[in-house]
């Protein structure tokens, strides 16, 4: 059995549903200690994080990933048990095979092989793993580790995130940034009353409707060469007492911006509130910024290196995209780090019968190792 397949199977067998780590990080930490890495376990709240580094000074390249997985859903819906790694038709099935225990195993194997082949490489190479990526808040994962890094003056030049990024085959897409996500919980106050006497009430639904039309039609920005325009969506709208003869006293809405680097969160907030004020609404709006957008621009050393490795190893000229949801890269990028995401095909992630192609799994360590060699060997 190959090293990477073996380790991926070992990790899948551990039921590490967020924030449980189920022994994944100690397993990896032990291997990296044996390979000569300095390993620290950073525990915050219920969450285990692992930081391993090799080398003493100079430019620092790290790999970033998570060992936690989303729940499997009903196990009976799976063709083979989700925590029982199973090979069928050239694919490895199991929860986390693609998101992202396969990538994590590939990073570990790549790092082990890299330091054996180049014990005196320049700079530093490291691995940062969390068991809190898939959870709802990510409070005690990479966000906390980055606070710790800032406090001790840790600096990272390049970060490769192993999230499943590919569309149809490894190397066809390199993620070079992510949009920001800004959410709001809006409450519009009216005056409850009898529908027969509207002059004695104030209907918040009627009051909000024209404001909503304006928000939905607003052109927030034009996007830019790397990002599509910022989008605004209402994800929930709620009012009413359940009776047809009562004007409700309050309306609640959940809103979300997926925004690009052409807009700033504070401007989106101010413009939203200005529209609501212009419509004379009595409202409260609680904002939550879950991630700022980031971009590794063309010409960045890491971006160019990863693209070159995809061309050479996978024989593909990768699409370079800043689309998709958010990732833990959003916590690392504000440190001034170049962040690029490259991992396996994401077609089955979070689904039943999640899988990764064996061929992809074998290629991944070679790809990660090639990135290390281009950045930390030679001049
Ligand atoms: Zn993931």
| pLDDT digits (tens), the chain, 379 positions | 689 999 999 999 999 999 899 999 999 999 999 999 999 999 999 899 999 999 999 999 999 999 999 999 999 999 999 999 999 999 999 999 999 999 999 999 999 999 999 999 999 999 999 998 888 777 899 999 999 999 999 999 999 999 999 999 999 999 999 899 999 999 999 999 999 999 999 999 999 999 999 999 999 999 988 888 999 999 999 999 999 999 999 999 999 999 999 999 999 999 999 999 999 999 999 999 988 899 998 899 999 999 999 999 999 999 999 887 778 999 999 999 999 999 999 999 999 999 999 999 999 999 999 999 999 997 5
Check whether residue 21 and residue 131 sit in a common domain: yes
Residues 6+ apart with CB under 8 A from 330: 178, 180, 291, 292, 294
Q: What is the largest CA-CA distance in the chain?
A: 83
- Same-domain pairing of 171 and 203: no
Q: In angstroms, what is the span from residue 145 Cα to ligand 1's centroid?
A: 17
Query: Residue 322's domain spans which residues?
Result: 3-178+293-376
Q: What is the CATH number of the domain that holds 108?
A: 3.40.630.10
Could you tell me if 305 and 159 lie in one domain?
A: yes
The candidate with the shortest Cα–Cα distance to 65, out of 106, 94, 116, 7, is 106
Q: Which two tokens stand for residue 69?
A: 């997985």
The number of domains in the chain is: 2
Give the active site residue among 21, 48, 112, 133: 133
Sheet bearing 250-259, strands edge to edge: 231-239, 250-259, 180-189, 282-291
Provide the CATH number for the domain around residue 257. Answer: 3.30.70.360
Structure tokens at 4: 């990477």
Task: List the one residue out of 184, 170, 187, 198 whose CA is nearest residue 235.
Answer: 184
Q: Are residues 330 and 261 in the same domain?
A: no
Distance, CA 284 to ligand 1 centroid (Å)?
34
> What CA–CA distances, in Å, run from 280 to 188, 204, 277, 283, 285?
11, 11, 5, 9, 14
Structural domain ending residue among the three candidates 258, 276, 291? 291
Any catalytic annotation for residue 133? yes
275 and 368 housed in the same domain: no
Tell me: the pLDDT tens digits for 73-92? 999 999 999 999 999 999 99
Quote the ligand 1 centre to 38 CA distance (angstroms).
25
Expressed in angstroms and rounded, the spacing between residue 163 Cα and the centre of ligand 1 is 5
The reported pTM is 0.86
Is the Cα dihedral 30, 32, 37, 43 positive or negative?
negative
Instruction: Dump pLDDT digits (tens) for 251-277.
Output: 999 999 999 999 999 999 999 999 999
């Amino acid at each position: 059995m190959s090293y990477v397949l073996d380790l991926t199977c070992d990790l899948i067998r551990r039921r590490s549903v967020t924030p449980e780590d189920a022994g994944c990080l100690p397993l990896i930490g032990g291997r990296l200690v044996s390979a000569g890495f300095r390993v620290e376990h950073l525990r915050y709240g219920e969450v285990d994080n692992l930081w391993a580094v090799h080398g003493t000074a100079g430019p620092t390249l790290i790999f970033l990933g998570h060992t936690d997985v989303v729940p499997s859903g009903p196990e009976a819906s799976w063709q083979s048990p989700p925590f029982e790694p199973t090979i069928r038709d050239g694919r490895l099935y199991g929860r986390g095979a693609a998101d992202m225990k396969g990538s994590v195993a590939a990073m570990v194997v790549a790092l082990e092989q890299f330091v054996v082949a180049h014990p005196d490489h320049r700079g530093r190479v490291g691995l940062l793993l969390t068991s809190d990526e898939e959870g709802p808040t990510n409070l005690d994962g990479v966000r906390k580790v980055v606070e710790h890094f800032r406090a001790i003056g840790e600096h990272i030049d390049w970060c490769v995130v192993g999230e499943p990024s590919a569309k149809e085959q490894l190397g066809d897409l390199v993620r070079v940034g992510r949009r920001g996500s800004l959410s709001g919980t809006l409450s519009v106050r009216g005056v409850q009353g009898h529908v027969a006497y509207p002059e004695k009430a104030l209907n918040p639904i009627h009051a909000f409707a024209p404001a909503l039309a304006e928000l939905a039609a607003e052109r927030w920005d034009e996007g830019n060469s790397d990002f599509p325009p910022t989008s605004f969506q209402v994800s929930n709208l709620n009012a009413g007492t359940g009776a047809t003869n009562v004007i409700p006293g309050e309306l609640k809405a959940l809103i979300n911006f997926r925004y690009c680097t052409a807009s700033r969160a504070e401007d989106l907030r101010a413009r939203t509130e200005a529209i609501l004020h212009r419509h004379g609404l009595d409202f409260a709006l609680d904002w939550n910024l879950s991630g700022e957008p980031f971009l590794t621009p063309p010409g960045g050393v890491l971006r160019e290196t990863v693209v070159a490795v995809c061309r050479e190893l996978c024989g593909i000229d990768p699409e370079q995209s800043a689309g998709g949801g958010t990732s833990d890269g959003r916590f690392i990028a504000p440190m001034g780090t170049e962040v690029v995401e490259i991992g396996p095909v994401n077609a089955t992630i979070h689904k039943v019968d999640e899988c990764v192609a064996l061929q992809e799994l074998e290629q991944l360590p070679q790809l990660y190792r090639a990135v290390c060699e281009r950045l930390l060997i030679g001049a």
